[in-house]
Amino acid sequence: MKIGFIGLGNMGAPMAANLAAAGHDVTGFDLAAPVPEGVTAADSAAEAAAGRDVAITMLPNGDILRHVAAEIVPAMEPGAVFLDCSTVDVDSARAVADMAEAAGLRPLDAPVSGGISGAAAGTLTFMVGGAEDAFAEARPLFDIMGQKAVHCGPSGNGQAAKICNNMILGATMIVTCEAFALADRLGLERQAMYDVVSTSSGQSWSMTTYCPAPGIGPTSPADNGYTPGFAADLMLKDLRLAQQAAETADADTPIGRAALNLYAQFVEAEDGAGKDFSAMLPRFESRRRG
């Protein structure tokens, strides 16, 4: 396929490179980041998207997505797929989808899970909203960039799935870190706690796949000084998106709101900025009840 890729940062660059390495004709644009090997550089987002079968965006937030969409939609040919892989608010995703549909394009919102390592390895999971035919056309690209793509329904539902998933993830990581800190105070060795919880009813992805305790379970950012695999700053962003959606939908999410407040304190008032989201564990280690 002829693919335009706009947004070549930590996630977009390896995704675009994987598409190019698989033999696709990829043209890319980013305001600051370099174009990866195998990708042809464009001078603007509109140039990257013009005449392409698929235009892919990987952008920081909804406002930037709306701005870029206003630039590239008029440059794209009717029938082309506009595939947005950013994590943004549901309202922005649906507004951009409406803009694309009005121009005869086929929009998909397809945020990802798997982080920078998943983008590099081509093992991302895509949560996709949009029409079935557009999803089917993009499916071979999902298979290159990731290991799983789930069609979640109409436009905006990909974003809805992402923020619901990450609200669960943020909350379970916090309580996993709390539990390790409590176990320390009670004299329970971390390995013993892991061996019990990882095979019992308290099991979760945060415990068994991404354990926040160094030297316990599979290798995780905790074993690398909490250098981010998924930054606390990004978890804070996703939890804010979840609460924004909850407010719009009039949904009661008290645990999600509590998780947001804790990550906001960790990132903005403590030392969590630039650390992995599992660095909540050393935070709780040093705190007392109160």
CA atoms within 13 A on the CB side of 93: 30
Measure CA of the first residue to CA of the last residue in the chain; give whole Å.
Answer: 58
Tokens of 244: 């924004």
d(CA 223, CA 53): 42
**Residues 228, 275: contact at Cβ < 8 Å?**
yes
Which backbone phi and psi does 239 adopt, to 5 degrees? -65, -35
Which backbone phi and psi does 152 adopt, to 5 degrees? -100, 0
> What residues have CB less than 8 Å from 84, skipping those under 6 apart?
56, 57, 59, 65, 69, 93, 96, 107, 108, 109, 110
Catalytic hit among 2, 162, 237, 275: 162
> Does the annotation mark 148 as catalytic?
no
**Residues 58, 32: contact at Cβ < 8 Å?**
no
Catalytic residues: 162
